[in-house]
Each structure stands twice: as structure tokens, then as C-alpha cells.
Amino acid sequence: MLAIDNTNIIDLGRGNGLPGFAPKVAYAYDATAKTVTVTDTTTYQSGDSKKKLIVRVHDKFGKKVEGTDAAAVSTAALNASKPFDVTITLITTKDLVTDGGAYDIQAAGEASKWDRQYR
């Protein structure tokens, strides 16, 4: 008798990523327009795609604004005296979920800190 039957969760890839799924999101910060725009360039597993991408831009004083990759996120309500942080939640049509971030952002870059907790 097994104390816990974990056969349905073996090989899910927790902590090591899932085969064929590689989250990748680029950002562009426009200080003049006071916007952050993100572009999803994720590699998805066969039969999977982006369901939702949530973007949060944070200032260093506790304020945040939220948007998606469908339009630029306005940072006009944030304090720009220090660099912003961007956190991203990516949800796929197969309900894989991962969070990523970019910190002290410059004009452009990539979210490179992904949590790798996919389910």
C-alpha cells in the first residue's frame, strides 16, 4: 500500500521546466511617453498557447499599475525617481502558470527571473 499515490504528478517538470515551454517576455520602457510595453516571445508546448499575460509595473514607493501585453501600460501614476520593476504572470490555455520579472528596468530588456512553478 502506498501512503501517497503520486503517479499522476511524476514528470510534471516542477523546478526543471516543462519540455517545449520556455517563458520569454521582452519589455520596452519609454520614459517620455511614460509607458511600458511588453511583447510575449514565449515558446509553448505543442497544442498550447498564451491564454493571458498580466503585467504589473512597480515603483520603489509601493505603488503599482497593471495591464496586459495588448497595450502599453501607463506609468504616469508612478514615482519615476528610481527605476521601475516589472512582474509578469503568464497563463497558458493548458493552465500552466509562471511568474517572471525584470528589476530596475532600463529602456529595453527581457524578464529573466521566472519562478518555474508551472502548476
pLDDT value at 5 more than 90: no
What's CA 66's distance to the chain center, in Å?
12
Based on the structure, what is the number of domains in the chain?
A: 1
Query: Is residue 30 assigned to a domain?
Result: yes
Sign of the four-CA dihedral 115, 48, 93, 14: negative
In a domain, residue 11? The reply is no
Identify whether 20 is part of a domain: no
Which residue segment(s) compose the domain that 45 sits in?
25-111
pLDDT reading at 68 higher than 70: yes
pLDDT digits (tens, 9 = 90+) for 76-119: 999 999 999 999 999 999 888 999 999 999 999 999 888 865 55
- Answer yes or no: is 19 within a domain: no
Asked, for residue 117, whether it belongs to a domain, the answer is no
67, 53 Cβ separation under 8 angstroms = no
Instruction: Express each pLDDT in 10-64 by its tens digit.
Output: 544 444 456 788 999 999 999 999 999 999 999 998 999 999 999 999 999 999 9
Residue 40 falls inside a structural domain: yes
Residue 53 lies in a domain: yes
The CA–CA distances, whole Å, from 110 to 1, 41, 61, 106 equal 48, 10, 23, 10
